[in-house]
Structure 1
Amino acid sequence: MAWNEPGGNSGGKRNNPWGSGNKPEQGPPDLDEVLRNLQRRLAGLFGGGGGGNRTVGAGGPGRGFGIGTIALVLAAIWLFSGLYTVDAAERGIILRFGKHVATTEPGLRWHLPWPIETKQIVNIQSIESFSEQTRMLTADENMVDINLEVQFRRANPLDYAFNVTRPEDTLKEVSESAIREIIGRSKLDSVLESGRQEIVARTKDLIQRTLEAYKVGLEVTAVNLQDVKVPNEVAPAQQDAIKAREDRDRLSLAAQAYSNDLIPRARGAAVRQVQEAQAYRARKIANAEGEANRFLALLDEYEQAPGVTRERLYLETIERVLASSKKVVLDTQNGSGNLIYLPIDKLLEQSRRVPRVATSEPSMTVESADHPDSTTVTGDRRTRGTR
């Protein structure tokens, strides 16, 4: 028997011609046995196991059943991974090898799983916001602190997903640039008081136009100026300026009210004086014309009867003069010396009411009864008395 044949050992030791007979024999591993062991382990894991003494060849039916099951399970998992749900406020963007192929509506959807297709869900209805606080200069070179709040939503999911890398960061930069431009064109009075609504509207319009030019896919829903104030370093001086401006406005309004009250009254007084002057002119002209006409009429009568006209004029003049006189003279030459009581106040009042004395009244002499050239009035006849 040769030294390398099986069974050619003595005492359990191989007869080695090189003198190493004291080591056991170590041959190459059996590949079939390794495969069978692996097959049994896989079958035990996926439900295809059997007894440990089952002998299956490398190409036997047990091995094919285990691999097919694994393949089917993996394929089912891979296919089911393509299912996804889109809510009512969302839109789904489907990419096939990085290229947009569809935009899906709300509902249960399916796409070819990764790595063939991928999906991106974009909410187009939720309103989000951010605040930006910054310090800037106004048109009249005053410093002001602005706290700007911007509310937005993702109106165009396709533009939002592909056109800009970080849309929200772009919106923040655009908002800050817009508010700086608007504030830089406005004066401090407008920023702090009456012009805030206009500033908000102009800022929102400018932000939206810039976003549309960039195709960011965002829509600005509201812009608010939460806090607008001057910095603490310049606040006292600014408050003095505001107070001075308020005083100026108050005094200006008071002056305007005084002007509105005085000017109409002055115009009314001027119109009244003009009308009074016109009336006075018309009255004087009418009186003058009346006197002239009366004088002409009297002249005609005088030319016809000079004596009678002179006497009538004399009597009318004396009557007009004595009617306003307060002096009463009594003729006592033929009296009996008795004391005569006369109610002078009543006589004066009666003389003012009645131009002429009645016929039954006693005689009255003006000035004195024994004065030369005294005038005695008796009844309706008037004579000049002489001594």
Structure 2
Amino acid sequence: MSEYNASIPRRPEFNWSPKKTKATIIGVIVAFAALLGYSTFYTVQEQEHAAILTFGKITHTEEKAGLHFKLPFPIQEVIKLPAVKTQRITIGYRDDGGKITTVDEEALMITGDENIVSADAVVEWNISNIENYLYNIDNPEAFLRNSAIAAIRSVMGANKLDYAITEGKTVIQGKVKEKLIELQTLYNTGIHIQDVKFQDIEPPGGEVTDAFREVTNAREQKNTKINNAAKYENDTIPKARGEAEALRQNAEGLKQSRILNAQGDVAKFNAIYSEYVKNPYVTKERLVIETLEKILPKAKIFISDSSSETVKYLPINELLRSGSTAGTAAGGGAGAGAGSSTGSAAQGGTSK
């Protein structure tokens, strides 16, 4: 019996000392405190928004960046999403570190005139509603990609190939964006579409592409010439209208000037005529002398009496140049020599 008991393994003896017990308790408390702090505090980055779930249901969203507090797990948990960050998905190709790979099942589609076209696009988006984004769609990126492809094919199928690869690219791009926004609103995905940009819209490769490229170049040259002609028209017509208006204004000014001059001449003539009616002889003589002064400003004028056969001469210029004494002497001599001449000269001076 003693041999049998000796073969049974003996249990190890655990000797718990007070120091070990205290260290273990402290370690458990520290671990619990660390776990509690880790599950209680959380940090939200600049481009993130956080959804606070209480027993699995969203009860609060936090949009302010920084350190925040919540109840410990499993009462509350946090889901952080890059809601502010602009995200991009590509349609029709993939960009893997600069290596471009075409995805034909996304890029190829049929136009309204039953031609095949290849369309590559980039969709820019962000999260506008965290709750809808988390619970209304299972795979947000896959849903967005499929809805973008559906929107592009819907719009492209309503337009002709020639229009799509030429001047209609911008219009189609805007319609695709509107269609994609409608789909996100319809299904409450919580996704906000910022922009849709087409990279290429062209027929499949080969001779068809070359032919359409020539058509596109010809249409661009046509549009360039039309724009140049419109520019020339917009530059020439206003200039011609300005010149015509300037000529009209000058003619109108000349017209008014001549009218005013004519009215002034009429008023002057009427004034002279009224004086002529009062004293015809004086007015007549004055007009003759004034006319002579205008047409002969530097001429020497001699006044004489031609009533007799003898020509009588009165040297007025010499009298004007000489002094008053000489003028008086000359006047006296002239008066003594010819009384009738003096009378005529005096009359002529009075008329002047």
Q: TM-score range by the shorter chain?
A: 0.5 to 0.7
Which amino acid in 2 is paired with 1:76?
A: A
Which amino acid in 2 is paired with 1:165?
A: D
Residue from 44, 54, 66 that aligns with 1:96: 54
CA RMSD after TM alignment: 3.3
- Report the equivalent of 1:364: none
CA contact (8 A) 2:47 2:82 kept: yes
Q: Deviations over 1:11-38 (max 9, x none)?
A: xxxxxxxxx77x485398887x73x43x
Label 1:73 to 1:181 Cα distance change in 2 as closer, same or farther (>3 A).
Answer: same
- Report the equivalent of 1:196: 169
In structure 2, runs of 5+ residues without a counterpart are 93-106, 231-352
Label 1:26 to 1:155 Cα distance change in 2 as closer, same or farther (>3 A).
Answer: same
Which amino acid in 1 is paired with 2:31?
A: L
**Which structure exhibits the higher relative contact order, with contacts defined as CA atoms closer than 8 Å and separated by 6 or more residues?**
2
- In the alignment, the residues of structure 2 paired with residue 115 and residue 138 of structure 1 have an alpha-carbon distance, to the nearest angstrom, of 54
Residue from 98, 114, 120 that aligns with 1:141: 114
- In the alignment, the residues of structure 2 paired with residue 181 and residue 241 of structure 1 have an alpha-carbon distance, to the nearest angstrom, of 25
Label 1:243 to 1:105 Cα distance change in 2 as closer, same or farther (>3 A).
Answer: closer
- In the alignment, the residues of structure 2 paired with residue 119 and residue 74 of structure 1 have an alpha-carbon distance, to the nearest angstrom, of 21
- Report the equivalent of 2:150: 177
Q: Deviations over 1:188-237 (max 9, x none)?
A: 12211111111111100110110111111111111111111111243255
- Report the equivalent of 1:361: none
How far 1:66 moved relative to its partner?
A: 4.9
User: Does residue 127 of structure 2 align to residue 154 of structure 1?
Assistant: yes
- In the alignment, the residues of structure 2 paired with residue 236 and residue 174 of structure 1 have an alpha-carbon distance, to the nearest angstrom, of 31
In structure 1, runs of 5+ residues without a counterpart are 1-19, 50-61, 258-387
Count of residue pairs brought into register by the alignment? 211
Residue from 30, 37, 41 that aligns with 1:83: 41
CA contact (8 A) 2:169 2:201 kept: no
- Report the equivalent of 1:125: 84
Label 1:183 to 1:29 Cα distance change in 2 as closer, same or farther (>3 A).
Answer: same
CA contact (8 A) 1:129 1:149 kept: yes
Secondary structure in 1 matching 2:6 = coil
Label 1:24 to 1:122 Cα distance change in 2 as closer, same or farther (>3 A).
Answer: closer
- In the alignment, the residues of structure 1 paired with residue 4 and residue 219 of structure 2 have an alpha-carbon distance, to the nearest angstrom, of 112
- In the alignment, the residues of structure 2 paired with residue 69 and residue 246 of structure 1 have an alpha-carbon distance, to the nearest angstrom, of 81
How far 1:239 moved relative to its partner?
A: 5.2
- In the alignment, the residues of structure 2 paired with residue 246 and residue 200 of structure 1 have an alpha-carbon distance, to the nearest angstrom, of 19
With normalisation by structure 2, the TM-score equals 0.53
Label 1:109 to 1:195 Cα distance change in 2 as closer, same or farther (>3 A).
Answer: same
Which amino acid in 2 is paired with 1:199?
A: I
CA contact (8 A) 1:146 1:229 kept: yes
How far 1:177 moved relative to its partner?
A: 0.2
- In the alignment, the residues of structure 1 paired with residue 30 and residue 55 of structure 2 have an alpha-carbon distance, to the nearest angstrom, of 25
Residue from 187, 193, 197 that aligns with 2:160: 187
Residue from 131, 136, 140 that aligns with 1:163: 136
User: Does residue 90 of structure 2 align to residue 108 of structure 1?
Assistant: no
CA contact (8 A) 2:122 2:197 kept: yes
CA contact (8 A) 1:79 1:112 kept: no
Secondary structure in 2 matching 1:26 = helix
- In the alignment, the residues of structure 2 paired with residue 246 and residue 125 of structure 1 have an alpha-carbon distance, to the nearest angstrom, of 40
Which amino acid in 1 is paired with 2:162?
A: D
1:45-56 alignment, distance < 5 Å: 48-49=19-20
- Report the equivalent of 1:210: 183
CA contact (8 A) 2:49 2:84 kept: no
- In the alignment, the residues of structure 1 paired with residue 139 and residue 114 of structure 2 have an alpha-carbon distance, to the nearest angstrom, of 34
How far 1:242 moved relative to its partner?
A: 5.9
User: Does residue 200 of structure 2 align to residue 227 of structure 1?
Assistant: yes
CA contact (8 A) 2:133 2:191 kept: yes
Identity percentage of aligned residues: 27
- In the alignment, the residues of structure 2 paired with residue 149 and residue 173 of structure 1 have an alpha-carbon distance, to the nearest angstrom, of 13
CA contact (8 A) 1:147 1:228 kept: yes
Larger Rg: 1
Residue from 24, 27, 30 that aligns with 1:73: 30
- In the alignment, the residues of structure 2 paired with residue 127 and residue 241 of structure 1 have an alpha-carbon distance, to the nearest angstrom, of 37
Label 1:192 to 1:68 Cα distance change in 2 as closer, same or farther (>3 A).
Answer: same
Q: Deviations over 1:279-321 (max 9, x none)?
A: xxxxxxxxxxxxxxxxxxxxxxxxxxxxxxxxxxxxxxxxxxx
